[in-house]
Structure 1
Amino acid sequence: MSKKAKAVSSLVAVMLLGSALAGCTSGNSASGTDSKSDGKKEDRTLRMMASVIGGKSPEENTMFEKEIERLTGIKAKLDKPASDYNQKLMAAVSSGEKFDLLQVSKETMNQLIDQGVLTPLTDKVKASKVLQDPEVLPAAEWDQVKTKDGKIYGVFTKYQGGTMPIIRNDWLKKLNLPEPKTLDDYYKVLKAFTEQDPDGNNKKDTYGLSTAGMYELQGIFSAAGLKQRYVEKDGKLDVPYSTDAAIPVYQWLNKLYKEGILDPNFATNDTGKMRNLFLADRVGMITYWDAWVGMLNNTRKEQDPKTAFEAKGLPGIAGPGGKNMLRRGDPDVWVIPVNAEHPKTAFEFIEWWHSKDGIILGSLGIKDNDYTENGGKYELTKAGKEHAMDHGVPFWYNKKVPNPFGLLQGVKEAQDLLAKYSSLELTPPRWADAEKIINEYSFKAILGEMPAADAVKKMRETLKANKLID
């Protein structure tokens, strides 16, 4: 059993024990949560754990908690680990700690649903005037989080965008290069970024492409018409990156690596290192989220208002039939564990999170720290500008709450590309196990440790042996 599986199993045991001791219901709604089992009114207190929601520092996180209390009357305790969120989440809960709300990815939600440790919210959601308002949450979006039998266990924390190649458009202009469309075009552009001194420092210190491992290469594999994660056909699950159609893409990436066009540390980079290379004029293209087009531009402009720096999202490479394929990200959701001590307050908070006050807190941040407001007119502070209007909610669904500052440079264009070319990924509960195998053999192919055809064959055999594909 993997470490992750053991952690989940421990989590399940503790949470189910806590549920049994507390006499929690396992029904299809959170009804009966208006009071504790002893008949006393539930305290308006929350203990939450989140990865990206909250302050940008421990000190600011405390301010974030106080702002929640000021705006809602709910006394909140927000645990926000600085790193390794999923590991710390599993460790904390499996050790017996109780939380009222958890911010998790759809992938983690599916794992916990599979283990029976989350409170079903279906009836609560259907009865909620707030969450059923199509101006607040479009009805079609709920299909992203429903189980096959139509149940709902998680409610969106934000509007989740998608991923794409992000290029230094100012470098394209400086080197008089057209925007790339095909694999050959991308090769020529990335080679020029590596060899033609786009940063103008007379040193050979730039790379064409950097990634954080295999993270978000959908726009590249689009050239072969391949989805990043699972696909389902005739009831059978498959991983397109493990098919023969992927071999030419791996060979192309290996060519970039051999020629020094691909950042040699791509396999060990995290997303922060990748972004920092882009911001420091060390790399001309990365693969990342649409929101970061704006945040990258904003970061550089805050450092130097006269900068020529310009990040731009690209539609990726058209594949068979001229079709581009970008990835729409799995949503992050709020979930309520079965052993939550304040489930009624937790659901109240979820509804509030989608109100104007909740959205302003999740985006602009903390009043008088990140922004000031006078008569409905908002102004960002120095800290607020540095935080780029993202305290976990860079974008939201609620059409009744306009962005008081508009979108950051390049974001609207990136979102338009996603609306045109992206689709949701299929992420079954065991995706994490499959991803390890995909990464292992993808790296061998890209680094030249195995011929691409052999790596793909071995990847597929290993996925089948572990019953991760049909």
Structure 2
Amino acid sequence: MMKQVWKKAMAVTLAGTMALSMAGCSSKTNSQTAGESKESGTAEAGEGKASISMMVTQFYGTELKNDHSDEVIKKFEDYTNTNVDFRWEANDTYNEKLGLVLMDKDNMPMIITGKGDLSANVVDAAKKGAFWDLSEFIKDSASYPNLSKADPQVLKSMTVDGKVIGLYRAREIGRFGFSYRTDWAEAVGITQAPKTVEDVYNMLYKFTYEDPDGNGKDDTYGLEMTKYVGPIDIMQTWFGTGNEWVVQDGKLIPVHQTKEYKEALTWVKKIYDDGLIRKDWATVDSGTFGDALKKGEAGAFVDVMDSAKRIWNYYIQNDIKSVTDPSKTATMTMVGPINGKTLATSGFNGYYLITKAGAKTEEDVKNCLHFLDKMCDNEMLVLADYGLEGVTYDLKDGKVVVRNDLEVQQTPHTGLNQTICYIPNLASTEPVLEKTEPTIAQDKAYAENKKVAVFNPALGYLANSGVNAEVGTDIEQIIDDARTQYICGQIDEAGLDAAAKQWSDRGGDRLIEEINQLYQQDTGK
């Protein structure tokens, strides 16, 4: 069973979508809370503020540690009336750390951030009663005016045994797709955006072998890839593979059991064999994803549209000139779908769990929910997404104008967006962002992607599968590893088949049976 794109990165997202990371560490970035007990949210920590602890993903290593970060911390703690003790864990090893934390009840944070969809170990812990049921809490619209507006359909993916065990981080459905450096395409004679996989191959080939930067050297390649395998998940949909699971003949099956899956992998293997991606991609730190386009080493990018926008902003910030017209800045073209398809998000990317071992009382739970709810207010959305007025943005005619003169990891608010559910709004509604050309292009791509995005039809059932909780994570890795090995030529098609059989024998067949039982029982599908 394949992972969703965001299971191994972040978005990418980013937002959530920025897949950069450093070595994992547990650090307290908030000096106001250092050394204070966080065992109970009912404990007061200066100025009458409640105290909570929160485990979150670290993408850069500079989260809330930059110039003016102390001002950001003061602002969100004063606004929410909450002191927050952060436990930062590196993106690349986050899922492993999460597994360890779930077994360490004596050091359990009150809020745990999850990546992607509910993982098997989280579902298993939920079935054993590790998390608070938030169903009744979030119906209280007076206490939680934002969280109470959570989408009931998306909450189904946060429901285990009838209990809402987490709050999701809302995301654009149409985030994922194909983008490329516009001037490189012009330099090699491509005047129209790719529409088919043949068009993409042609572009990648020309970017690799026809000197798109015009420096006379053989120093470019087509598609940027790192060990973050999200791009493969996206590219598979171009072939009709589906999104993790697919409905065939009225039955749900994992995509690795489809003929389209092998067709897609064979195509990715071809671009690898033909040198259109770097040979060592499977060992390249995912924290560097995007750097090859910024440095002019690669010209095409498959991931979230907001990452393509950030690459474009990098060109603006660093005055990277177009290779075809040095009087202009380089730009990105955000295509989105290829063959009329792209990967859909689940409407969320990640989630927040309130643990019973960390949040020991209902008052603790309410303190956690109060913080999460207040962070969805416009004031905090502006702070988390745009930073400080006069430092990282200005207000012009009542609109936010982002300065874009700092790299994301240098901004004072770096990492704060990891605390936000984005319910009910994905961005501040007052003030609104004054949209730049890259942002306008991003939003247009979102809208186009959403029309054709391929959803995972099994998402809600996986969260309630006992077999998935038991073996899901382990057998998923079997398929992921085999996919990479096949692309790199370490195994052949027989090796892929052997991995698929191993998946089935270790619980995959039982998983298919259970998922389809849940599917048939679902009268609301």
**Quick check: TM above 0.5?**
yes
Q: Give, in angstroms, the shift of residue 43 of structure 1.
A: 6.5
Moved more, 327-336 or 428-437: 428-437
CA contact (8 A) 1:372 1:381 kept: yes
113, 118, 140: which one pairs with 1:107?
118
- Do structure 1's residue 182 and structure 2's residue 196 form an aligned pair? yes
RMSD: 3.5
Q: Give, in angstroms, the shift of residue 384 of structure 1.
A: 5.9
- What corresponds to 2:417 in structure 1? 392
- What corresponds to 1:30 in structure 2? none
Counterpart amino acid of residue 350 in structure 1? L
Q: Give, in angstroms, the shift of residue 131 of structure 1.
A: 5.8
Distance 1:294 1:223, change over 3 A: closer
Counterpart amino acid of residue 208 in structure 2? T
Q: Percent identity?
A: 19
- What corresponds to 1:97 in structure 2? 107
* Secondary structure at 1:334 match in 2: strand
422, 433, 437: which one pairs with 2:474?
433
Q: Give, in angstroms, the shift of residue 413 of structure 1.
A: 2.1
* Secondary structure at 1:80 match in 2: strand
- What corresponds to 2:73 in structure 1? 65
CA contact (8 A) 2:234 2:303 kept: no
- What corresponds to 1:201 in structure 2? 215
CA contact (8 A) 2:372 2:421 kept: no
73, 78, 94: which one pairs with 1:85?
94
CA contact (8 A) 1:52 1:392 kept: no
Structure 1 distance, partners of 2:219, 2:421, is 35
Q: Give, in angstroms, the shift of residue 345 of structure 1.
A: 0.6
415, 420, 433: which one pairs with 2:451?
420
Q: Give, in angstroms, the shift of residue 363 of structure 1.
A: 0.9
Distance 1:355 1:112, change over 3 A: farther
CA contact (8 A) 1:299 1:386 kept: no
Distance 1:403 1:165, change over 3 A: same
Q: Give, in angstroms, the shift of residue 269 of structure 1.
A: 2.6
CA contact (8 A) 2:237 2:454 kept: no
* Secondary structure at 1:468 match in 2: helix
- Do structure 1's residue 192 and structure 2's residue 202 form an aligned pair? no
294, 300, 315: which one pairs with 2:336?
315
Q: Give, in angstroms, the shift of residue 456 of structure 1.
A: 3.1
* Secondary structure at 1:200 match in 2: coil
- Do structure 1's residue 467 and structure 2's residue 488 form an aligned pair? no
CA contact (8 A) 1:210 1:283 kept: yes
Structure 1 distance, partners of 2:72, 2:97, is 21
Structure 2 distance, partners of 1:52, 1:414, is 28
- Do structure 1's residue 327 and structure 2's residue 344 form an aligned pair? yes
Moved more, 67-76 or 405-414: 405-414
Structure 1 distance, partners of 2:60, 2:396, is 24
Q: Give, in angstroms, the shift of residue 424 of structure 1.
A: 3.6
Within a 5 Å distance, the mapping from 1:22-421 to structure 2 comes to 44-51=50-57, 56-57=62-63, 59-60=65-66, 63-83=71-91, 84-92=93-101, 94-95=103-104, 96-105=106-115, 106-108=117-119, 109-129=122-142, 137-147=150-160, 150-161=162-173, 162-177=175-190, 178-213=192-227, 214-231=229-246, 238-304=253-319, 308-318=329-339, 323-329=340-346, 330-339=348-357, 340-341=359-360, 342-366=364-388, 369-371=391-393, 378=400, 380=402, 386=408, 391-392=416-417, 396=422, 397-398=424-425, 400-401=429-430, 403-406=432-435, 408-409=438-439, 410-421=441-452
Distance 1:46 1:356, change over 3 A: same
Map Cα deviations across residues 47-81 of structure 1 (whole Å, 9 max, x no partner): 11211599944524655433322222211212223
* Secondary structure at 1:179 match in 2: coil
Structure 1 distance, partners of 2:41, 2:51, is 13
Question: How many aligned positions are there?
Answer: 428
Map Cα deviations across residues 117-156 of structure 1 (whole Å, 9 max, x no partner): 1111011112235767699655544344334x54322223
- What corresponds to 2:29 in structure 1? none
Counterpart amino acid of residue 100 in structure 2? A
Q: Give, in angstroms, the shift of residue 197 of structure 1.
A: 0.7
Counterpart amino acid of residue 85 in structure 2? K
Q: Give, in angstroms, the shift of residue 45 of structure 1.
A: 0.9
* Secondary structure at 1:224 match in 2: coil
Q: Specify every segment of 5 or more residues in structure 2 that has no aligned partner in the other structure, as ranges.
A: 1-39, 323-328, 463-468, 513-525
Distance 1:112 1:205, change over 3 A: farther
Structure 2 distance, partners of 1:55, 1:372, is 26
Q: TM-score, structure 2 length as denominator?
A: 0.71
Counterpart amino acid of residue 224 in structure 1? F
CA contact (8 A) 2:138 2:147 kept: no
* Secondary structure at 1:217 match in 2: helix
Q: TM-score, structure 1 length as denominator?
A: 0.79
Distance 1:49 1:63, change over 3 A: farther
CA contact (8 A) 2:144 2:370 kept: no
Map Cα deviations across residues 143-191 of structure 1 (whole Å, 9 max, x no partner): 44334x5432222334355322222232222222132222222211111
Moved more, 228-237 or 339-348: 228-237
Counterpart amino acid of residue 184 in structure 1? E
CA contact (8 A) 2:400 2:432 kept: no
Distance 1:437 1:272, change over 3 A: same
CA contact (8 A) 2:114 2:350 kept: yes
Q: Specify every segment of 5 or more residues in structure 1 that has no aligned partner in the other structure, as ranges.
A: 1-32, 37-41
Map Cα deviations across residues 240-278 of structure 1 (whole Å, 9 max, x no partner): 134333222222222222221122122123433331112
Counterpart amino acid of residue 126 in structure 1? K
Counterpart amino acid of residue 466 in structure 1? R
Distance 1:259 1:301, change over 3 A: same
